[in-house]
Amino acid sequence: MAKYRDSETVDFLIVGSGAAGGVLARELARAGFTVIIMEQGHKLQPQDFEHDELKYWLRNGMTNDPAFSPQTFRKTPTDVAQKTRPGSWNPLWYARTVGGSSVHFTANFWRFHPVDFEERSRLGSIGGTGFADWPISYAELEPYYTKVDWEIGVSGLAGAYPNEPHRSKGYPMPPMPVKSSGVLLERGAQRLGLHPFPAPLAIASVPYRGRAACVHCGLCMGFGCEVRAKSSALFTVIPEAEASGRCELRTRSYVVRVATDARGRVSGVNYFDPEKRSRFQAARAVILCANGAETPRLLLMSAGPLFPYGLANSSGLVGKYLMFNQGAGAFGVFEHELNEYKSVQATRLVLDFYDSDPKRGFYGGGGIDARIGPNPIIWALEAPPGSPSWGKSFKNHLRSFPRTMLASGHTTTLPVETNSVSLDPEVKDAWGMPAIRCTHKDHPDDLQFAGWLQQRAAEIIDAAGAQRIWLEPVKDANVSVHLLGTCRMGNDPQSSVVDRYHRAHDVPNLFICDGSSFVTSGRGQPTMTIQALAFRAAEHIAQFARRGEI
Amino acid sequence: MSDSHDNPTSRDTRRDFLRGAGEILAVTWVAGNWPAIAAAQAHAASAASSGRAALVFLSAADAADVESIAAQIVPSDDTPGAREAGALYFIDRSMRTWLAGRAGDFRAGLRDFQTRFAAAHSGTAFASADDTTQRAFLTANEASEFFNSVRMLTLVGLFALPKYGGNRDAIGWRLIGFEDQHVFAPPFGYYDRDYPGFKAR
């Protein structure tokens, strides 16, 4: 791994080592540029990961812990934001470690469909929202989706879904072995005339590029992979970036300000090193890949005389249009054992309800997958609504765990301007920096569609023969792991933060590429698209640099 | 919720569709109410080194009440319940380690619970009351924060790693048929055993 001094001016300084930052670092370092990645978290190794639900799900074992990184939450701008209680989840919850949330994610890797990029043109405007087309099309992004499939490692079955968007190449690995939940979802959906198919996952179903195949331990969602089968940035692009010899990964280095010069160009970043010393690293260009929560926060914290409302914020939209992905599921109990706690979350997927249908009377689209759902602790805490939550019959309910599956709906969230990341006026983190204040209330259509799709999920498992079905509550989201839309992409500098190449409209040597770039939410499962955007951005940024256009 | 399709609840069905209208102890409840402290301390080490049955926070009388509540939440019947799994010890140690910041609230909740039970039952302790009396009182107090804290901690202990002390001999995992293995191979369950392979429609 390369090592640079603070006084050396590197070509690119990337903030965040997650799904996007890892891709950009690898691509730019391989293209011959000098790169530093700043990551606030530690670097964990496979042997550091444990099968410990209490640690990761209830004690923030690798996520942003409110004890030192607090956030506040309010539903609307007129409410007083409440600080997250120590030990609970921050509203914008992410893995604070090398590889970012790609370390603990579920690894569902859906491509967006063409409609996601041009939905505003197809459907028209939606009141009270910033619903808009993307400045790029599916066709423009397709080669990069394929690059993700092969460079990152995605398993799946091309051609299995009749309405699959065009793909220029098949998957590099076969789909994961089907689970009982997948068989049942497939059976029920086919009985209803739907088109279930093997779920694409960023998990190695066979040994791939030096990584082992999945051993079906069952702990993907919220856990790190102990055998490196999960195609997280930690096991793919990060080590490959380091192997280039031009990229330094600087861990436990917390960037708190993007510095600018008198001309309004970025000159480097101020950061805290592991000993909490304030330092400055010079760079010719900065790329923010800190996720849809931390990226806008960093821009807002970088306000200065030339940028009074935050860096790159002449539009006033930095931090606005925060989107989560709604969704609600139906649990089903079957006669025989499924043992869903084994292997990956989802092995079958239904996307027949992907497109929004104006005839329903509300906007929304989504997908339904068959999955484990929560691990035992969280599963036990969530007793079915309306049934006993303790006592003898509750104990019998607990016994149904191995016969239970979740048909989980994943749906759209509309971009609403008041849903946002801003700086809390009072609460500070352990470094004395302003905490994120999250404001979020779902658009009514988001909740209506989540409920509508949940009914379809219930019908599918009913058709599959479920003996007992219960529904998760459909309600306003106040915690999310999908952090989207807060520095949206667009052609018009007045209505977007970055251009179609992820360059900040206001600052020529500042680029932003992560979930914050999204214009619409998609139907869930954003990481595939984040990484496709990152491959595309890397190619363009390298060209700009070579041509002296940065 | 407006819905152009039939709502399953309105259909003639043998099955039990439960609408999620009521608030339950959902994941978001966990998020909003989980009372932990910042630096998680060495709960596991404490649980492992102290062996069996050493109380570190609760008095013997308090422990009897807490254990009786836990035993009502997941009772012992033909299989062991929260009592045998050691839920009490998980809760007790939690108050000295990672939940130390909330221990005062827990104790205050317990005092209030005990005071109200004694007032309604001629001064007897909850632990010494009969099963019916205990259940009636808990039913009346189902919504209280204290009861929900005990419920939550009982279940967390019961299904967490045995090293934390509340899932002794994997009693919790055995109750729900969860096998603690790091490697599995297909078939995983009944329905994928004879799967003929995927055929697109």
Q: How far is A418 from chain B (nearest CA, A)?
A: 22
Q: B-chain residues within 8 Å CB-CB of A183? A: 191-192, 195
> Which H helix or E strand runs over A439?
strand A434-439
Contact B191/A184, CB-based, under 8 Å? Answer: yes
Cβ(A17)–Cβ(A229) below 8 Å? no
Which among B18, B138, B158 is the nearest to A471, CB-wise?
B18
Top-confidence residue, A232 or B47: A232
> Which H helix or E strand runs over B155?
helix B145-159
Which among A377, A382, A452 is the nearest to B26, CB-wise?
A382
Whole-number pLDDT of residue B11: 31
CA–CA dist A277, A291 (Å, integer):
24
Mutate to test the interface with B, among A49, A50, A52, A54 (most CBs of B within 10 A): A54
Q: B-chain residues within 8 Å CB-CB of A402? A: 176-178, 189
Q: A-chain residues within 8 Å CB-CB of B3? A: 451-452, 455
What average pLDDT is seen over chain B?
79
- The band of B92, judged by pLDDT with boundaries at 50, 70 and 90, is very high
As beta bridge partners, residue A254 has A272
As beta bridge partners, residue A82 has A73
Q: B-chain residues within 8 Å CB-CB of A53? A: 159-161
Least confident span in A153-157, B44-48, B86-90:
B44-48
CA–CA dist A498, A506 (Å, integer):
8
pLDDT at B85 over 90: yes
Contact B200/A195, CB-based, under 8 Å? Answer: yes
Contact A390/B138, CB-based, under 8 Å? Answer: yes
Q: How far is A401 from chain B (nearest CA, A)?
A: 6
Q: For B132, name the nearest residue in chain A, comparing CA atoms only.
A: A391
What SS3 state is found at A193? coil
The amino acid that residue A96 corresponds to is: R
Contact B189/A402, CB-based, under 8 Å? Answer: yes
Cβ(A17)–Cβ(A39) below 8 Å? yes
pLDDT at B49 over 60: no
CA–CA dist A101, A230 (Å, integer):
12
CA–CA dist A67, A86 (Å, integer):
5
Closest-CA residue to A123 (of A452, A496, A520): A520
Query: Residue A210, Cβ neighbours under 10 Å: how many?
Result: 9
For A250, phi then psi, to 5°, come to -105, 105
Which among B18, B161, B179 is the nearest to A385, CB-wise?
B18
Cβ(A81)–Cβ(A422) below 8 Å? no
Quote the tokens at residue B124: 């007897």
User: What percent of chain A is modeled with pLDDT above 90?
Assistant: 97
What SS3 state is found at A137? coil
* Residue that the structure tokens 């007032």 belong to: B119
Cβ(A527)–Cβ(A172) below 8 Å? no
A506 Cα distance to chain centroid:
26
- The band of B188, judged by pLDDT with boundaries at 50, 70 and 90, is very high
Q: For A199, name the nearest residue in chain B, comparing CA atoms only.
A: B198
ipTM of the prediction = 0.94
pLDDT at B16 over 60: no
Which distant-in-sequence residues (6+ apart) come within 8 Å of B123 by Cβ? none
Q: A-chain residues within 8 Å CB-CB of B2? A: 361-362, 448
Give the global pTM.
0.93
Does A46 sit behind a cis peptide bond, omega within 30 degrees of 0 on the bond before it?
no
* Residue that the structure tokens 């992410």 belong to: A94
Contact B77/A395, CB-based, under 8 Å? Answer: yes
Q: For B71, name the nearest residue in chain A, comparing CA atoms only.
A: A391
Q: A-chain residues within 8 Å CB-CB of B27? A: 374, 378, 381-382, 479
> Concatenated DSSP letters for A245-269?
SSEEEE-S-EEEEEEE-TTS-EEEE
> Which H helix or E strand runs over A434?
strand A434-439
Low-confidence stretches of chain A (pLDDT beneath 50): none
Closest-CA residue to A215 (of A380, A51, A407, A405): A51
Look at strands A278-288 and A254-260 and give their pairing.
Answer: unpaired
Question: What is the mean pLDDT of the segment spanning B5-21?
Answer: 29
Cβ(A152)–Cβ(A231) below 8 Å? yes
> Concatenated DSSP letters for A10-51?
EEEEEE--SHHHHHHHHHHHHTT--EEEE-SSBPP-GGG---
What SS3 state is found at A352? coil
Q: How far is B124 from chain A (nearest CA, A)?
A: 22
Q: How far is A153 from chain B (nearest CA, A)?
A: 21
Contact B37/A86, CB-based, under 8 Å? Answer: yes
Quote the tokens at residue A347: 């092995």
Whole-number pLDDT of residue B42: 41
What average pLDDT is seen over chain A?
97
Which distant-in-sequence residues (6+ apart) come within 8 Å of A441 by Cβ? A75, A76, A416, A418, A419, A476
Q: How far is B4 from chain A (nearest CA, A)?
A: 7
Contact B20/A471, CB-based, under 8 Å? Answer: yes
Which distant-in-sequence residues (6+ apart) come within 8 Å of A75 by Cβ? A439, A440, A441, A476, A478
Q: How far is B125 from chain A (nearest CA, A)?
A: 20
Contact B176/A383, CB-based, under 8 Å? Answer: no
Which distant-in-sequence residues (6+ apart) come within 8 Å of A317 by Cβ? A417, A487, A488, A495, A496, A497
Q: How far is B77 from chain A (nearest CA, A)?
A: 8
Q: B-chain residues within 8 Å CB-CB of A341? A: 178
* Residue that the structure tokens 């491509």 belong to: A111
Query: Residue A287, Cβ neighbours under 10 Å: how many?
Result: 31
Quote the tokens at residue B66: 């807490």
Cβ(A284)–Cβ(A9) below 8 Å? yes
Give one word for B194, left, alpha or beta, with left for phi > 0 and alpha for psi -120 to 50: alpha
Buried b (16+ CB within 10 A) or exposed e, A111-146: bbbbbbbebbeeeeebeebbbbbbbbebeebbebbb
Top-confidence residue, B44 or B180: B180
Quote the tokens at residue B28: 């978001």
- The band of B52, judged by pLDDT with boundaries at 50, 70 and 90, is low
Whole-number pLDDT of residue A373: 80
Whole-number pLDDT of residue B99: 85
- The band of B53, judged by pLDDT with boundaries at 50, 70 and 90, is low
Q: B-chain residues within 8 Å CB-CB of A340? A: 188-189
Q: How far is A493 from chain B (nearest CA, A)?
A: 37
* Residue that the structure tokens 């301007």 belong to: A417
